[in-house]
Amino acid sequence: MIGSQSTLAASSGDQSQFPTSFPPEEEEAGGGFTLVQVWYMLLANVWLSIGIFLVMLGLAFMGIKWLPKSYEATAALIVNSDNTDPLAGRNLPIGQTGTFFPTQVELINNPVVLRPVIDRLKLQTDRRFTKGFVGDPKALDDVVLANLRGALQVQQGGGSQLLYISAMALDAVQAADIANAVAEEYLRQTSQRTNAPAIERAKRYSDQVAELRSKVDTTQAKVAEFRERHGMADLKDGQNGDSEGAALADLQTKLLQARNERRQLESKQVDANADSSAVLETPQAVGLQDTLNKLQGQLGQATATLGRQHPRVLQLQSEIDSTRKALQSAVRARSDNSAMLLARARELEAKYEAAMAAEQNRLLERRGEQDEGAKLLLEQRLAEETYARALRGLDEVQFASVGNYKDVTLVSRAEPSVKAAKPNKLKLLAMAMMASMGVAVGGPFAFELLLNRRIRCRDDLERHFRIQMLAQFGRMSPAPAA
C-alpha cells in the first residue's frame, strides 16, 4: 500500500533490460531519509500535528494565565565609602575600596540584618515564606531566612556608589514592605556602627569628667581638714614661716648674748681668783681701804707718842679690826655676787638653748606640716586644672556624639509596583508556542519512524526495499460502482 501517492512498478517481463544497481552516491545515502520522505511523512500527519499544536498551546495558555504573579520593589541607597568621620575615627584603608561594596552586599544578606526584618514583618506566620513547613519550630526561622534571601536581590549600580535592594513577593505591597524594611534595618545598623564609637567615647569622657570632679572634691576636703587640724588658714601664705623664723633668730641672738655674758662673768671670776686686788676696785671697798689706811697711820703715830696700852691706841686698833672685817665682808659679798651672777647667766643660757632647740624642733615639724599642706595644695591645683580642661572639652565631645553621622543614605523608598515583574507571559507564551510546535511536528514524526512506518513515496521503495521505480502516478479516483 502506498499512502498519499500511488506508485506503479514496472512489468516483470525481461528484467535484464533494466538496471539492477544504483549509482554509488545513492548507495552511500541509502541509510538516511531524503527531504521528500520527510515531507510526505509530515504531510500525512498534518492534521494530527495541528491538533496536537492547538491542544498543547491551549493548555499552555491556560497554565500561563493562572501562574501566580510576582511583584518586585526596589529601594535605592547611596553609600559613601570614602567618608572620613574624625570622631568615629574610620578611614577606609587604601586598597579596600574594591571589597567595600561586596562586603555591604554580604552584610545585607547576613542574618544580623534579615532576622530583625523577619520579626518586624512577622514572616514566620506568612505561608508564602514558610511554604507549608512542618517540623521543629527552631528550624522554621532558618526556612524563612532562606526564603527571604531567595526573594532578595542586592546589587551595586554600575560604576557608582548606589546600592539597590530589590524584593520579590506575590503581593506588591509586601514586596515594597520587605525592601523598605531591609533598607531601614541596614541603615539603622550602619548608623549605629558609625556613631557607636563616638557615643562610647562621649560616655567614657563623661565618666572621666565625673571621676575628675570627685577627685577635686576629695582633694579639697583633704586640704580643708588639714587646715582645720593644724590651724593653718592659708597654706600658701609665707608670713607664718617668716615670723617663726624671726622668733628662732631672736632666740639665737639672745642665746648668743647670754653666752657672751656668761663668758665675761667666768673671765672676771677667774681674774678675781688670780688677783684679789681686782675685787677692791669697787667704791665701797675703796672707801674701806682708805679708812683702813688712815686708821693705820693714826695708830702708828699714837703708838709712837702714847704707847701700846693707851686707850687711844686700843680704840684705833679696834677701829682698824672693824674696818678690816668690813673690807673682808665686802670682798666676800663681791665674790658671792659674781658667783650668783655667773649661775644666773649659765641658767639663762641653758634656758635659751632649750628654747632654741624646742623652737627648732617645732619649726622643723611646722615645716613638715607646711610641706605636706603644699603637696595637698599641689594635688588640688592639678586636679582642678585637669578637671577644668576636661570640662571645657566635654561640650564639644557631647555635641559631636549626637551628630548622627551617616555613611549610607536612603535615596528612594520602594513603592508598590502596579505591574507584575514575573512571569513574563508573552515570553512564556512564545516558548510554549515553540514547544507545542516541536511536539506537534516531532511527535507524529517519531511515531511514524518508531511505531507505524508506512510507505508514502517512491524513495521509500527505492531506498529501503531496493526496488527501482519506473514511473509514478498521482492519486487515482476510485472506480465507479457497477
pLDDT of residue 16: 41
Q: What is the pLDDT of residues 136-154, one digit of tens each?
A: 777 888 888 888 888 898 8
- Residue from 413, 443, 345 nearest 56 by CA: 443
pLDDT of residue 180: 92
The four Cα atoms 206, 208, 210, 215 give a dihedral, to 10 degrees, of -170
Task: Give the least confident one: 82-91, 216-225, 374-383, 469-478.
Answer: 82-91
* Polymer length of the chain: 482
β-sheet bridge partners, residue 92? none
Contact 185, 81 (CB under 8 A): no
Non-local CB neighbours of 347 within 8 Å, separated by 6+ positions? none
As a whole-number percent, the residues of the chain with pLDDT over 70 amount to 73
> For the chain, how many helices (H) and strands (E)?
13, 6
Could you give the C-alpha distances from 60 to 55, 67, 375, 421, 439, in angstroms and in order?
9, 10, 97, 20, 13
What does pTM read for this prediction? 0.48
Q: Are strands 471-472 and 7-8 parallel, antiparallel or unpaired?
A: antiparallel
The CATH class given to the 71-204+405-412 domain equals alpha beta
Break the chain into its structural domains and give their ranges. Answer: 7-67+424-472, 71-204+405-412, 239-401
List CB contacts of 41: < 8 A, sequence separation 6 or more: 444, 445, 448, 449, 456
Question: For 45-136, where are the alpha helices, taking DSSP H only?
Answer: 46-65, 97-108, 111-121, 127-130
Asked which of 47-61, 199-213, 442-456 is least confident by mean pLDDT, the reply is: 442-456
Least-confidence region, from 68-77, 207-216, 233-242, 382-391: 233-242
Cα–Cα distances in angstroms (integers) from residue 189 to residues 104, 140, 386, in the given order: 12, 25, 36
Q: Tell me how far apart the alpha carbons of residues 350 and 262 are, in angstroms, rounded to a whole number.
A: 11
The answer, yes or no, to whether residue 8 has pLDDT greater than 60, is no
Least confidently predicted of 94-98, 390-394, 454-458 = 94-98
- 25-38: per-residue pLDDT in tens? 444 444 567 777 77
Q: Output the CA–CA distances (angstroms, integers) from residue 141 to 7, 136, 175, 177, in the order listed.
A: 74, 10, 19, 19
* Rounded Cα gap, residues 288 and 280, in angstroms: 9
Residue 233: the pLDDT is 65
pLDDT at 482: 54
Summarised one tens digit per residue, pLDDT across range 42-67 is: 777 788 888 888 888 888 888 877 77
Q: How confident is the model at residue 344 (pLDDT cuts 50, 70, 90)?
A: confident
> Tell me, what amino acid is at 106?
E
Residue 209 has pLDDT above 60, yes or no: yes
Average pLDDT score over residue span 66-87: 73
Euclidean distance between CA atoms 94 and 82, whole angstroms: 10
pLDDT above 70 (res 392): yes
Task: Give 115-131 pLDDT, tens digit per residue.
Answer: 999 889 888 888 888 87
pLDDT grade for 2, boundaries at 50, 70 and 90: very low
**Cβ pair 448, 41 in contact under 8 A:** yes
Long-range contacts of 33-42 (CB under 8 A, 24+ apart): 34/459, 34/463, 36/457, 36/458, 36/459, 37/456, 37/457, 37/459, 37/460, 37/463, 38/445, 40/3, 40/4, 40/5, 40/456, 40/457, 41/444, 41/445, 41/448, 41/449, 41/456, 42/441, 42/444, 42/445
Q: List the one residue out of 69, 9, 22, 181 whose CA is nearest residue 420.
A: 69
Statement: residue 20 has pLDDT above 70: no
Statement: residue 7 has pLDDT above 60? no
| Residue of 321 and 333 predicted with greater confidence | 321
Predicted pLDDT of residue 240: 53
Q: Where is average pLDDT lowest: 21-35, 235-249, 261-275, 301-315?
A: 21-35
Mean pLDDT of 58-83: 79
